[in-house]
Structure 1
Amino acid sequence: MSKDKVQIFDTTLRDGEQVPGCKLDTTQKLIIAERLDHLGVDVIEAGFPISSPGDFRSVSEIAKLVRNATVCGLTRSVQKDIEVAAEAIKHAKRPRIHTGIGTSESHIKFKFNSTQDKILERAVNAVKLAKKYVEDVEFYAEDAGRTDNEYLARVCEAVIKAGATVLNIPDTTGYCLPEEYGAKMKYLKENVTGIDKAILSCHCHNDLGLATANSIAGVINGARQIECTINGIGERAGNTSLEEVVMILRQHPNLNLDTNIDSKLLYSTSQMVSQKMGMPVQPNKAIVGSNAFAHSSGIHQDGVIKNRETYEIIDPEDVGVNQSSIVLTARSGRAALAYRAKNVGYELTKLQLDEVYQKFLEFADRKKEINDEDIHEIVEQSAVDVERVA
């Protein structure tokens, strides 16, 4: 049975770059855009062209460079925004304009001082204008997570009639629970006339740590695009993490959903974005963190050494990591010490290992982590006669 395709919409260069201190120049953006295209993302949101001359130039150059992915420019529901975005992406092989407006009561009342009917009218007019420049128009209903479902459905139906090809349903504040976000997608699938003419898209923020869970709930309930960033970078607590949603879908084949992402490039792409943006990846970050495939507990180490799948559900090589790490600490056991000792040239018998292990514990209580040089010193200081082999 063939799997349904979930499109990956990468907004590292737009939403991700809005993080304070993560400003990229055009050259850096082009390097990352080229890698994203090679990675297999379906859509690259290259920037917000009206925001500055520099961003316009970057979007324009990315549009010329990218060979496979759709190149998307963000706008507000403002005529000048849309005109400038159209100009910036005019050289793209697959251009898309991403326009929209806030639809929650909070946005309508406090941000726009407007009414539901006037907001709906602005949404339709923005899509119609964008449609004059490109065939592929994505509409975002900002703060859809806190928007009344009935009104949200009205807006979605109207913009589809106006020509929208993708409907972005953002949980802008990261407020929704997965059940709520999934139910919102299901409601739209069942209550919007013409919904089969557009793709529903998840755009989730991580304020409560639920961005990935909400995105997965969204695609389970009918969405077929996930908007995400490398390493989950983004405003405040960040966006949905690209590497997480890709590997969740791949590790759960029963969902019958997959992406075009070359997962073996995930780790190197993560490192590239981290370096270019000056944003370290937290060690315990899922999939790409330095500890994602590292084991220091003796019980875990023993299990992984016997069979990797006892404590790892992902083969490290599937995401571009060479191998799992057996980290020697005071919590490590004999199996881990024997494994690491063998890697540096010592074949220890059981009796030798018992002796060396006692000396190892003395070292481990003084240091956070035992390295290869320490192993040589530990063996040499132990009362055992062990020959080092090549």
Structure 2
Amino acid sequence: MDRVYIFDTTLRDGEQSSGVNLLIKEKLDIAKQLAKLGVDVIEAGFPVASADDFEAVKVIASEIEDPTIAALARVLPGDIERAAEALKSAKKKRIHVFLATSKIHMEYKLRKPKEDVIKMATEGVRLAKSFCDDIEFSPEDASRSERSFLYEVITEAINAGATTINIPDTVGYSIPPEFGELILKIRENVPNIDKVVISVHCHNDLGLAVANSLSAIKNGARQVECTINGIGERAGNAALEEIVVALKTRQDLFGLTTNIDTRHLYKTSRMVSLHTGMVVQPNKAVVGANAFSHSSGIHQDGFLKESTTYEILKPRDIGVPESKIVLTKLSGRHALKRRLENLGFKLTEDELKKAFLRFKELACKKNEVFDEDIEALIEDEIRAVEELVGLEYIHVVCGNNTVPTATVRVKRKDEVVQEAACGNGPVDAVYRAIDKCCGIECSLRDYSVSALTGEKDAVGEVTVKIESSGTEVVGRGMSTDIIEASAKAYISAINRLYKTQNIA
């Protein structure tokens, strides 16, 4: 099967992301991981840019064996000589030279006519060729260059010794049909194009870097320059993981393969995110936190019956342990039942029905319901003792200059009782009001509260121990409202007390 070469420029173009400054050790760590991932070329840096960049390329060139190590250079002799020096110890090396060819760049940045640009390009390629055989030439801003002039520059660069011609969409200006057509026209109008590999380097200013790269591949490009997580100058580059997985998933369309071991994609993504400080957005394709998460009830039901109904990728193929069913207010009975089974709970249909109603009540109060929430819900609500007293209503008034007052309504058998009381605090006021409603005298021996999860909307779990006539019982309650959780715990304890003392 025909293959696409993966040229990773995370360490060069990726580091040009605003706010990113990688240490040499961090670059080496990433380079080792990229080699493990299976990239064909690692662009290790721009040696002439700084002493650190030179040293990073030098270190990577001496320690990384399998991938080709590339160094970027302008077509200037000083740049090329510096790149060659940094790459001296590389087992497989490439010098990547570039020069702008668009009218706007030639007029305002280079301030040179076309003839001078062609001369500079050919001389730069020839000089680079004197240091190593593998030479890549990039006509910068190719997608905005005059077509006939672009064909001429490419032809002369190949004649001078270039082995790879890279077509950059430097400012992310192209759209997929247009960029694919550019690659096709280059193949048709550059007479010696069959002597080189056509590469593309797409930026994401319009959010089309991956789409443009795939369009180019469809039209004959066989190398893609890309970065992990799509990081890079301005809006970033084409994301390596998206291109590779697209080619793998749609072999029916492309009929192409790469050398990438996709099982290392997730780990590589995490490493680059950690070293650069650039957080991967949750909905990022392939490696985002939500890429294999399902929260809609309809989707969860279909996924649990057959994963391919809502997943075109297998998480383990990317290095993600498993898909995730996220329990939210949108989740259905099937998802809750499966989670309960995974947690070891086997409920009857009636218990499941009751659990689902309580789950929905809880899910409407917080973004996500976690395993700890479900365990507490089952123990607190489903497996609780029979309710002789049930909490119907609670209202509390408190403040730093207000006497805490609570109004509580409870149901005792078929009777509804409502009382109010004051206390030393809101919880104490609630407990006093419940005592009055139940006509019971008991002492609070212990009270503790904990958050089941770490978020701001976490469910609070309250545990109380009460004593009456020598009998001690424990009650538990949970809610996103700690006062409500406290009331539920106290009512739970009273029900246990009634059951222990055989009070009907």
1:53 aligns with one of 35, 47, 51: 51
Residues in 1 aligned to 2:189 and 2:346: alpha-carbon distance in whole angstroms: 67
1:81 aligns with one of 79, 82, 85: 79
> CA shift at 1:385, angstroms?
7.4
Structure 1 residues 147-226: aligned runs within 5 Å: 147-226=145-224
In the other structure, the counterpart of 2:319 is 320
- The reply on whether 1:281 has 2:280 as its aligned counterpart is yes
Residues in 2 aligned to 1:83 and 1:350: alpha-carbon distance in whole angstroms: 76
RMSD: 1.1
> CA shift at 1:151, angstroms?
1.3
Instruction: Give the structure-2-normalised TM-score.
Output: 0.75
> CA shift at 1:73, angstroms?
0.3
1:100 aligns with one of 90, 98, 122: 98
> CA shift at 1:383, angstroms?
4.1
Instruction: Give the structure-1-normalised TM-score.
Output: 0.97
Residue type of the alignment partner of 1:262:
D
- The reply on whether 1:290 has 2:298 as its aligned counterpart is no
- Name the larger-Rg structure: 2
Residue type of the alignment partner of 2:343:
V
String of CA shifts for 1:57-115, please: whole Å, max 9, x gaps: 00000000111000000001111000000000011111100001001111111111111
In the other structure, the counterpart of 1:17 is 15
1:4 aligns with one of 2, 5, 24: 2
User: Secondary structure in 1 aligned to 2:361?
Assistant: helix
Residues in 2 aligned to 1:36 and 1:28: alpha-carbon distance in whole angstroms: 12
Residues in 2 aligned to 1:166 and 1:275: alpha-carbon distance in whole angstroms: 32
2:118 aligns with one of 117, 120, 124: 120
Residue type of the alignment partner of 1:242:
L
String of CA shifts for 1:17-54, please: whole Å, max 9, x gaps: 01122111111111100110111000000000000111
- The reply on whether 1:340 has 2:335 as its aligned counterpart is no
Residue type of the alignment partner of 2:74:
R
> CA shift at 1:380, angstroms?
2.1
* Alignment length (residue pairs): 384
User: Secondary structure in 2 aligned to 1:169?
Assistant: strand
> CA shift at 1:381, angstroms?
3.1
2:135 aligns with one of 137, 142, 147: 137
Kindly indicate whether the alpha-carbon contact (under 8 Å) linking 1:317 and 1:323 is maintained by their aligned counterparts in 2.
yes
Kindly indicate whether the alpha-carbon contact (under 8 Å) linking 1:39 and 1:261 is maintained by their aligned counterparts in 2.
yes
String of CA shifts for 1:343-369, please: whole Å, max 9, x gaps: 111123333221100000111111111
State the structure with bigger RCO (CA 8 A, min sep 6), 1 or 2.
1
Residues in 2 aligned to 1:167 and 1:383: alpha-carbon distance in whole angstroms: 68
Structure 2 unpaired stretches of 5+: 386-504
In the other structure, the counterpart of 2:431 is none
More helix by share: 1
In the other structure, the counterpart of 1:232 is 230
More strand by share: 2
Residues in 2 aligned to 1:296 and 1:156: alpha-carbon distance in whole angstroms: 51
In the other structure, the counterpart of 1:354 is 353
User: Secondary structure in 2 aligned to 1:23?
Assistant: coil
Going from structure 1 to structure 2, the CA distance change for 1:90 and 1:359 (only over 3 Å counts) comes to same
In the other structure, the counterpart of 2:61 is 63
Residues in 2 aligned to 1:217 and 1:284: alpha-carbon distance in whole angstroms: 23
String of CA shifts for 1:205-226, please: whole Å, max 9, x gaps: 0000000000000111011000
Structure 1 residues 266-277: aligned runs within 5 Å: 266-277=265-276
Structure 1 unpaired stretches of 5+: none
Structure 1 window deviating more from structure 2 (140-149 vs 311-320): it is: 140-149
Residues in 2 aligned to 1:258 and 1:33: alpha-carbon distance in whole angstroms: 22
Residues in 2 aligned to 1:66 and 1:149: alpha-carbon distance in whole angstroms: 38
Residues in 2 aligned to 1:190 and 1:158: alpha-carbon distance in whole angstroms: 16
Residues in 2 aligned to 1:35 and 1:224: alpha-carbon distance in whole angstroms: 23
Kindly indicate whether the alpha-carbon contact (under 8 Å) linking 2:18 and 2:234 is maintained by their aligned counterparts in 1.
no
